[in-house]
């Protein structure tokens, strides 16, 4: 949850005296507000009010000061080391903050928010996801050593580790992963080491010299490497965040990674599952469909001279290979084009080619496409450059994505939410906590399901491996692990979901 306090992170021009005074004021006045958790989903009179009675604040300024210093440090440090995609700030478990700082954490956070030092978003869901906190202003660091704050940090790290281990021991987790999965995964994660210490340190020192703001991130990686427990988060979609999900691509060359295999266009190709589902195509038929698309090369149907995709030829290839006319008739041309491009791994490349002169790199293209299309909470596209382009090129695919912005209005999508535990059935009503984020949630849950099954299959074959969301990573070892053997396992699992994606292999 926080790093060794050789470096303490704070906010430029922060006024600790003002925060201490505000904390005392909040303690003494208490508060009374509606408890949103008690409001009936069917409406009606509000019967309960959440009350926080006035209480006596701490008298010792130094004790309050240390708690504020730790709290600001934790939020700032988590923010600058966070590697979650499309997220500002960072998640922090309130229960852990409360265990470390006691009841004072409530007023201290409120004081920081009211004085404009932090923002707190509203994505909290009981038992599912933590609130996200974001520092307002410039983050600064200082050399610092304080026994009290060090004690807070050590306690928070142990509590976080215990929380993750407890999560892995729950009946729900074991029902999905099996009794031995957690132990095997942690053991395999600890097999990844630095193989070139000098090169690793030299690279990091050069990067810090070029950009001093990256120092906290590299300190975070070094801290993880010192520990024998390198998982620091499991989200509500069972996606694990650990050492390897956090390291930059450029750092991987210094680790003892044998090779990694990732699914090209992973999230776009996952949406194929929902396209086939929407058309009522069975998994075996969708796999045959995808397999044929996988075999169609770019030159087979694309004319470079005319900038033209021959969709009639694509349909004829599908028919020739056993796909019935009645199934093909369910798809519009743009849907077929999307299915084909994502299956052969060309989706991101083609968008990047279209913006070759705009200065975007691949990562920026992906970030914009996720933010404006797949993960956008609103159907409005007036200011969304990439959403407009996507809608123009794939209008019917985009229509299905729009349906996912309001899934409770569509019977098939409600059923999908229930299947993935993203909604609950109450009488004749289906209720979802955050319908506007339904699509990213079911896609991430699907990805988690797929890679869980891949890892379980690899472990049964006694192959050491971990995953980085959409990639399998194999450490160097004395036993010879052949890439094809791992790819075959991945292919088999994707087949169970009616998909035949393109894989890419990176060797180190």
pLDDT digits (tens, 9 = 90+) for 306-317: 678 999 999 999
> How far apart are the C-alpha atoms of 248 and 236, rounded to whole Å?
24
Q: In this structure, are 153 and 282 located in the same domain?
A: no
What is the model's pLDDT at position 83? 66
What is the model's pLDDT at position 399? 95
What is the model's pLDDT at position 42? 40
Q: In this structure, are 148 and 278 located in the same domain?
A: no
> How far apart are the C-alpha atoms of 448 and 195, rounded to whole Å?
29
The count of structural domains within the chain is: 2
What is the model's pLDDT at position 289? 97
Residue 209 lies in a domain: no
Q: In this structure, are 295 and 157 located in the same domain?
A: no
Residue 354 lies in a domain: yes
Which of 441, 457, 474 finishes a domain?
Answer: 441
Residue 448 lies in a domain: no
Q: Is 346 exposed, middle or buried (0-12, 13-18, 19+ CB in 10 A)?
A: middle
Q: In this structure, are 153 and 288 located in the same domain?
A: no
> How far apart are the C-alpha atoms of 486 and 473, rounded to whole Å?
10
Phi, psi of 497 (to 5 degrees): -110, 15
What is the model's pLDDT at position 41? 41
Helix (H, G, I), strand (E, B) or coil at 281: coil
Which of 441, 475, 496 finishes a domain?
Answer: 441
Which of 163, 191, 208 finishes a domain?
Answer: 163
- Contact by Cβ (8 Å): 8, 26: no
Q: Which residues of the chain have pLDDT under 70?
A: 1-6, 32-50, 83-88, 122-130, 306, 382
Q: In this structure, are 142 and 270 located in the same domain?
A: no
What is the model's pLDDT at position 49? 54
Residue 491 lies in a domain: no
Q: In this structure, are 279 and 143 located in the same domain?
A: no
Residue 193 lies in a domain: no
Helix then strand then coil, % of the chain, to nearest 5: 55, 15, 30
Residue 112 lies in a domain: yes
Contacts of 337 by beta carbon, 8 Å cutoff, 6+ apart: 309, 311, 393, 394
- pTM of the complete model: 0.85
Q: What does R_g of the chain's alpha carbons equal in angstroms?
A: 25
Q: Is 431 exposed, middle or buried (0-12, 13-18, 19+ CB in 10 A)?
A: middle
Q: In this structure, are 159 and 272 located in the same domain?
A: no
> How far apart are the C-alpha atoms of 263 and 401, rounded to whole Å?
21
Residue 483 lies in a domain: no
User: Which single residue is written with the structure tokens 């989706």?
Assistant: 347
Residue 489 lies in a domain: no
Give Cα 79 distance to the centre of its chain: 15
What is the model's pLDDT at position 385? 87
Q: What range defines the domain where residue 90 resides?
A: 1-163
pLDDT in tens, 233-282: 888 788 888 989 888 889 999 999 999 999 999 999 999 999 999 999 99
What is the model's pLDDT at position 128? 42
């Amino acid at each position: 949850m926080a790093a060794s306090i050789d470096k303490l992170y704070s906010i430029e021009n922060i006024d600790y005296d003002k925060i201490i005074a505000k904390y005392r004021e909040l303690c003494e006045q208490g508060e009374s507000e509606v408890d949103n958790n008690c409001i009936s989903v069917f409406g009606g009179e509000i019967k309960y009010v959440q009350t926080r009675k006035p209480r006596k604040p701490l008298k010792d300024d130094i004790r309050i000061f240390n708690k504020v210093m730790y709290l600001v440090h934790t939020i700032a440090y988590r923010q600058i080391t966070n590697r979650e995609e499309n997220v500002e700030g960072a998640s922090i478990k309130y229960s852990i903050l409360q265990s470390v700082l006691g009841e004072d954490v409530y007023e201290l956070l409120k004081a920081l928010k009211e004085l404009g030092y932090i923002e707190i978003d509203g994505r909290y869901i009981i038992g599912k996801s933590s609130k996200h906190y974001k520092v307002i202003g410039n983050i600064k660091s200082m050399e610092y050593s304080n026994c009290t704050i060090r004690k807070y940090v050590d306690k928070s790290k142990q509590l976080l580790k215990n929380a993750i281990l407890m999560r892995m021991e729950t009946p729900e987790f074991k029902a999905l992963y099996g009794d031995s999965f957690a132990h095997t995964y942690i053991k395999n994660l600890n097999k990844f080491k630095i193989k070139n210490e000098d090169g690793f340190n030299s690279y990091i020192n050069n990067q810090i010299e070029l950009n001093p703001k990256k120092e906290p991130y590299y300190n975070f990686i070094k801290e993880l490497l010192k520990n024998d427990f390198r998982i620091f988060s499991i989200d509500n979609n069972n996606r694990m965040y650990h050492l390897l999900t956090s390291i930059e691509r450029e750092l991987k060359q210094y680790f003892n990674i044998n090779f990694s295999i990732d699914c090209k266009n992973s999230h776009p190709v996952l949406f194929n599952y929902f396209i086939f589902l929407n058309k009522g195509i069975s998994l075996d038929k969708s796999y045959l469909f995808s397999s044929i698309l996988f075999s169609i090369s770019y030159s087979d149907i694309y004319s470079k001279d005319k900038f033209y995709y021959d969709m009639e030829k694509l349909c004829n290839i599908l028919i020739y290979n056993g796909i019935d006319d009645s199934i093909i008739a369910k798809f519009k041309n743009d849907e077929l084009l999307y299915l084909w491009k994502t299956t052969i791994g060309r989706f991101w490349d083609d968008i990047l080619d279209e913006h070759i002169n705009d200065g975007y790199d691949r990562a920026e293209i992906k970030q914009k496409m996720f933010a404006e299309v797949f993960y956008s909470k609103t159907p409005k596209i007036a200011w969304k450059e990439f959403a407009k382009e996507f809608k123009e090129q794939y209008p019917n695919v985009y229509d299905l994505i729009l349906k996912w912005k309001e899934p409770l209005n569509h019977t098939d999508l409600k059923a999908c939410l229930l299947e993935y535990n993203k909604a609950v059935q109450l009488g004749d009503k289906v209720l979802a906590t955050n319908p506007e984020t339904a699509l990213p949630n079911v896609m991430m849950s699907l990805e988690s399901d797929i890679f869980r099954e891949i890892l379980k299959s690899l472990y049964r074959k006694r192959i050491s491996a971990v995953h980085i969301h959409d990639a399998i990573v194999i450490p160097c070892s004395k036993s010879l692990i052949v890439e094809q053997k791992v790819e075959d396992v991945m292919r088999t699992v994707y087949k169970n979901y009616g998909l035949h994606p393109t894989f890419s292999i990176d060797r180190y």
